[in-house]
Amino acid sequence: MRDHFELRDGDLAGRIGRLSVPRAGVTVETPALLPVVNPNIDTISPARLESEFGADILITNSYIIKTNEHLREEALDVGLHEMLDFDGAIMTDSGSFQLAEYGEIDTTTEEILQFQRDIGTDIATPVDIPTPPDADREQAEADLEITKRALADAEAADTGEMLVNAPVQGSTYPDLREEAGRHADATDLDVFPVGAVVPMMNAYRYDDMVDAVAAAKRGLGVDAPVHLFGAGHPMMLALAVALGCDLFDSAAYALYARDGRYLTVRGTEHLEDLEYLPCTCPICTEYSPDDLRAAGSKEQEQLLAEHNLHVTFAELRRIKQAIRDGDLMELVEERARSHPAMLDGYRALLDHVDQLEREDPASKGAFFYASNESAHRPEVARHHARMDRLTAEGHVLLTEGGTPSGDDFDATWRVVPPFGPFPRSLSETYPLTAEVPERLDRDAYEQAARGVSRLVEENPDATFTLAHDDWPESALARVPESVELESLSTVSERLGDEASSEGDDEGDAGDERDEGDSDGLSDE
């Protein structure tokens, strides 16, 4: 186990953790945002990031500092913390971003790690190769080998108390990402950034981002703190946390502000298009859109950057509370409705349901069925697997509520879409207490039918009758042919007709008795 990272709580693959950074003497609660600080541009000072926004960790670029004579001399003279005026933990990048952008840099892993140690970096980064999405496999494999050599050089370096990143590359090849994660996890390095995902996010390829991170996570151990390099838009943080990412860095707050763009959890707005500010942060309560537009360019940039940070930190707090409450999936689903590409990302997340289920807590708060995607949540997969432990014997009725007439059953189990069948004694256990709408979608019924099919397959000596409430044909087609089907509406209609018929007969007999009684009374 990595003793510098402690897991405190979890939901899905998301977790609240404590990352100890010994060189800084601080412990960072994760999920955490590392605001990117450009040492050449002072949009919001690191001291304000700490005092006003609560940032206890940030990231800057050691290669930029190393290649700028003035910055290099100052950093070597007074140290990074004093130069930036920041008491929290400082992570530094190595120049790999510049390598990806410009094709070459003038440093090696050994040189840049030594420089990072000399200037007082708390979490350092080797020179890895960020292979872009859709690179041909030969290039991705060759780049990955170079990155592996960089990790070996980092292991061999004398880094003292400085933590060191072990980047996970592999482009858009899940098997390479998994291999890279497994290789990085086997090193004695400390933090595990998933790299080269920024081009995917810039192109709104959130489904590809999810697949890349999920593959990397399969190779990494549960105790590995995962950093999603270059991710920091509030819209996608819940999705990334649900995948198991712990650290995020972003220059978006500043870059978007420079472009007059206003971040929200539903996307990005242009200031020029806003009549109202849909936020309650200090900037949005003090200023109107007209006020911001009337400000000078420098002031406007700073105010927008402050808003962008406020909304991003607020979203991280919201995510942490969702983890505590056990309803992170509900938040992910809500955010997924903000953009079609986010919905693609959410659906890609559910493609990895078996992987999520292994880390998702077995019991938590409420399960709210909010869309057809809810039918594919980890809780449903876990319920189907759990039913394999139970035995059904004799003639078993599986029913949504009613009982077919004229049949004797050895046992009666409930059936609730999307979960499927279960003994009545489990009715009040999570997730079978789920809140579901009256008008369920096809996916819910089809998942329930899969549950029925699995129960039948696991209990070949039992016989089953399914009393359903008018399930769609697509769901009934998934029920094994050996199961006797009966619609509850038909049963109810038949029972109603029988009751009505019996009532009529009793009414006729009653009329005759009444008449007889009347006659008798008359005779008296």
The C-alpha atoms of residue 85 and residue 80 are separated, in whole angstroms, by 8
The C-alpha atoms of residue 147 and residue 100 are separated, in whole angstroms, by 13
62 CB-contact burial (10 Å; exposed 0-12 / middle 13-18 / buried 19+)? buried
DSSP 13: T
| Structure tokens given for 197 | 């995902």
Q: Are 177 and 170 in contact (CB under 8 A)?
A: yes
Task: Assess whether the previous peptide bond of 31 is cis (omega < 30° from 0).
Answer: yes
CA-closest candidate to residue 166, choices 186, 188, 192, 140 = 192
| Structure tokens given for 374 | 């809810």
Output the pLDDT for position 340: 94
The C-alpha atoms of residue 480 and residue 454 are separated, in whole angstroms, by 9
DSSP 295: S
The C-alpha atoms of residue 351 and residue 215 are separated, in whole angstroms, by 12
Residues near 74 by Cβ (< 8 Å), separated by ≥ 6? 83
Output the pLDDT for position 40: 86
The C-alpha atoms of residue 451 and residue 454 are separated, in whole angstroms, by 5
In b/e form, how buried is each residue of 36-49, taking b as 16+ CB within 10 angstroms? bbebeeebbebebb
CA-closest candidate to residue 91, choices 224, 216, 311, 248 = 248
Output the pLDDT for position 401: 81
| Domains of the chain and any CATH numbers | 5-351 (3.20.20.105), 368-495 (no CATH)
Binding residues for substrate, as ranges, are 128, 196
Per-residue pLDDT tens digits of the chain, which is 524 residues long: 688 999 999 999 999 999 999 999 999 999 999 999 998 888 899 999 999 999 999 999 999 999 999 999 999 999 999 999 999 999 999 877 666 555 667 788 999 999 999 999 999 999 999 999 999 999 999 999 999 999 999 999 999 999 999 999 999 999 999 999 999 999 999 999 999 999 999 999 999 999 999 999 999 999 999 999 989 899 999 999 999 999 999 899 999 999 999 999 999 999 999 999 999 999 999 999 999 999 999 999 999 999 999 999 999 999 999 999 999 999 999 999 999 999 999 999 999 999 999 998 888 878 999 999 999 999 999 999 999 999 999 999 999 886 665 567 899 999 999 999 999 999 999 999 999 999 999 999 999 999 999 999 999 999 999 999 989 999 999 999 999 998 887 655 544 444 455 455 444 444 433 333 333 223 33
CB atoms within 10 A of CB 74: 17
Output the pLDDT for position 491: 56
> Strand order in 14-21's β-sheet?
5-11, 14-21, 26-30
Beta bridge pairs of residue 486: 467
| Structure tokens given for 60 | 């800057």
* Candidate list 3, 9, 42, 93, residue with the active-site label: 93
Beta bridge pairs of residue 368: 435
| Structure tokens given for 442 | 């096809």
Q: Are 123 and 160 in contact (CB under 8 A)?
A: no
CA-closest candidate to residue 224, choices 139, 308, 163 = 163
The C-alpha atoms of residue 277 and residue 72 are separated, in whole angstroms, by 41
Is 93 designated active site?
Answer: yes
Residues near 219 by Cβ (< 8 Å), separated by ≥ 6? 168, 177, 178, 179, 180, 181, 182, 183, 184, 185
In b/e form, how buried is each residue of 330-366, taking b as 16+ CB within 10 angstroms? bbbbbbbeebebbbbbbbbbbebbebbbebbeeebee
Measure CA 335 to chain center. 10
231 CB-contact burial (10 Å; exposed 0-12 / middle 13-18 / buried 19+)? buried
Cα(first)–Cα(last) distance of the chain, in Å?
Answer: 99
The C-alpha atoms of residue 373 and residue 418 are separated, in whole angstroms, by 11
Please work out, in degrees rounded to the nearest 5, the angle formed at the alpha carbon of residue 118 by the alpha carbons of 223 and 131.
55
